[in-house]
Amino acid sequence: MSILQPKLGNYNLENYDVMKERFHWDDVKSQFSWSKTGKVNLAYEAIDRHVANGKGEKVALIYSDSLREEMYTFSEMKHETNKAAAMFKKYNVAKGDRVFIFMPRTPELYICLLGAIKVGAVVGPLFEAFMKEAVRSRLEDSEATIIVTTPELLPRIPIAELPHLQTIILVGEEEKLSTGSGKKFVSYYSEMESTVSDDNTIEWVDLEDGLILHYTSGSTGKPKGVYHVHNAMLQHYQTAKWVLDLKEDDIYWCTADPGWVTGTSYGIFGPWLNGVTNVVRGGRFSPDDWYKTIEKYQVSVWYSAPTAFRMLMAAAPEIMKKYDLSSIRHVLSVGEPLNPEVVRWGFETLHHRIHDTWWMTETGAMLICNYLSEPIKPGSMGKPVPGVEAAIINDKGEKLPPYEMGHLAIKAGWPSMMRKIWKNELKYNEYYSIPGWYVSGDTAYQDEDGYFWFQGRNDDVIMTSGERVGPFEIESKLVEHPAVAEAGVIGKPDEIRGHIIKAFVSLREGYEYSDELKQEIQAFIKKELSAHAVPREIEFKDKLPKTRSGKIMRRVLKAWELNEPAGDLSTMED
């Protein structure tokens, strides 16, 4: 597919090269109270500031699921988050304490998360689908003192095994309040009813004070607590403005859950720091439901993930045709490589370029992106945002020439970089093993125009017959085949070739596994890519193992293949 030129019209058309030259992160600070008082609070900047600036009546949150539909203005959000803050204070939450939130996407989740930030707590959002062991290890490691949850999820919190946990705030029916465990149980709704909103509840903090703890699992070992500070808001604000292109009258929808970094950095902080109306859809994915959400709320900017786009692609095309999606003006993707086939689908059906963005839990915000005024090369992640320096380097820290694969690394010092791995300095230092650089663990190359091309996680790159093959390129080609819905590619140890390429493939509706289909797919890869990229083995699966955030878990495929333990599975989908 050829290069996609920017659309003219209602876009951020600031020149990339000029911004790269001129921009400095310090320029952003002047927006926030920090510049006047030396203190700040992200929740104030995201909500209360807009009320102070006369935008109190604007809708901040549009929430819907199959049972509820609610709207909250910035004034109402200010009021509610103040009350939640007072509730946390009443139950002894002090600056720096860890407040965990374990519940489905509902307005209460968003109110509690911002309320906890208002009192200077470090919030820890947990996916509602986590089971007991995943919940236990995160609460134990963080030494959280208080958790907000629902009666339905309460049985998954092993409270007796968590000595630091003192208080459980239950969002749900009061009669389900438990007693007798030595812990304090609090009813969210009665507490909120009896509390008054008071602006003085806000704890003013320093830019380097703790904000959020996101647990993320690596390929081995325990999940790590990635710790971010209030300073990250500079980058949440600026990238949401530049890359999401948020403007005053946008209706923005980020489909990610706050249990995942995208759902906080760009599901909460980025849009609200820019004072934009934010759509949250509760419940599970369904193509009808998603298109209906866009149509009903007139979503204009839509941030989602390749896995979701692929599921929409795999659904019957008639479903999309039932809805009017003309409100959309800008579409973006994150989380895993964006296959050119998905970009083509977006262009042909939504009539939009899907903009890829690359970043990580550890980086806190977007780093490499398709900036609006720049052409898109489908399959590439784009270029570093102004204010960020990225490079492809070797083990010695030397920059590599165009098209050579190496470590994707970032020059240390962007505002939203993690400040530590909770209680694990050793792990933190591993990211900086090459002096001056944050080493991402991703392998990529850069082309002569400065675009970055993702190849895989370091441990995913396949050496076959002396050639280095990135699994992503093959996966992208596989999903171009009409029968293939999703694909995961790994290297399988082989005495002769070092590794052979093995593909795990799930089929689209209407296709069935057969030897002919397998050969047809192999011939397709040979013709379209190259002979050395052909998967010698193809195994058909109903479903591929994926994280809840949509990443195909190649390490699980590898473990299946080698009959080895698959490691931490707490982030895997049901």
381 is a contact residue toward ligand PRX (CB under 6 A): yes
Q: Which of 87, 240, 331, 334 binds ligand PRX (CB under 6 A)?
A: 334
- Residue 387 CB, nearest distance to ligand PRX (Å)? 18
Site residues (CB under 6 A) for ligand PRX, limited to 204-223: 216
Four-residue CA torsion sign, 320, 324, 329, 335: negative
Q: How far apart are CA 382 and CA 449, in angstroms?
A: 10
Q: Which of 41, 264, 357, 464 binds ligand PRX (CB under 6 A)?
A: 357
- Residue 403 CB, nearest distance to ligand PRX (Å)? 18
365 is a contact residue toward ligand PRX (CB under 6 A): no
Q: For ligand PRX, which is the closer residue by CB, 83 or 224?
A: 224
Options 132-140, 314-322, 357-365, 495-503: segment touching ligand PRX (CB under 6 A): 357-365
Q: How far apart are CA 218 and CA 282, in angstroms?
A: 28
The residue nearest ligand PRX at its CB is 361
115 is a contact residue toward ligand PRX (CB under 6 A): no
Return the axis-axis angle of helices 287-297 and 306-314, rounded to nearest 10°. 110
Site residues (CB under 6 A) for ligand PRX, limited to 482-541: none
360 is a contact residue toward ligand PRX (CB under 6 A): yes
197 is a contact residue toward ligand PRX (CB under 6 A): no
Which residue carries 């095994």 as its tokens? 161
Across the beta sheet with 59-64, what order do the strands follow? 69-73, 59-64, 277-281, 251-254, 301-304, 330-334, 354-358, 368-369, 383-384
The token duo for 473 is 């390129």
Q: Which helix (H) or strand (E) holds 476?
A: helix 471-478
- Residue 482 CB, nearest distance to ligand PRX (Å)? 24
Q: How far apart are CA 557 and CA 501, in angstroms?
A: 12
Q: For ligand PRX, which is the closer residue by CB, 108 or 356?
A: 356
Q: Which of 108, 250, 336, 473 binds ligand PRX (CB under 6 A)?
A: 336
Across the beta sheet with 498-507, what order do the strands follow? 484-494, 498-507, 537-540
Sketch the per residue contact string, 252 through 271, with ligand PRX: x for CB under 6 A, - otherwise: ---------xx---------
Q: Which of 239, 307, 440, 506 binds ligand PRX (CB under 6 A)?
A: 440
Tell which residue, 272, 333, 324, has the closest CA to residue 302.
333
Q: HSE on the CB side for 300, CA within 13 Å?
A: 14
Q: Which of 83, 89, 236, 457 binds ligand PRX (CB under 6 A)?
A: 457
Site residues (CB under 6 A) for ligand PRX, limited to 536-565: 549
195 is a contact residue toward ligand PRX (CB under 6 A): no
The single-letter DSSP state of residue 347 is I
Options 52-60, 61-69, 72-80, 439-447: segment touching ligand PRX (CB under 6 A): 439-447
88 is a contact residue toward ligand PRX (CB under 6 A): no
The three-state (H, E, C) secondary structure of 132-179, written as one string? HHHHHHHHHHHCCCEEEECCCCHHHCCHHHCCCCCEEEECCCHHHCCC
Q: How far apart are CA 381 and CA 355, in angstroms?
A: 8
Residues at the interface with ligand PRX (CB under 6 A): 216, 261-262, 334-338, 356-361, 381, 440-442, 454, 457, 549
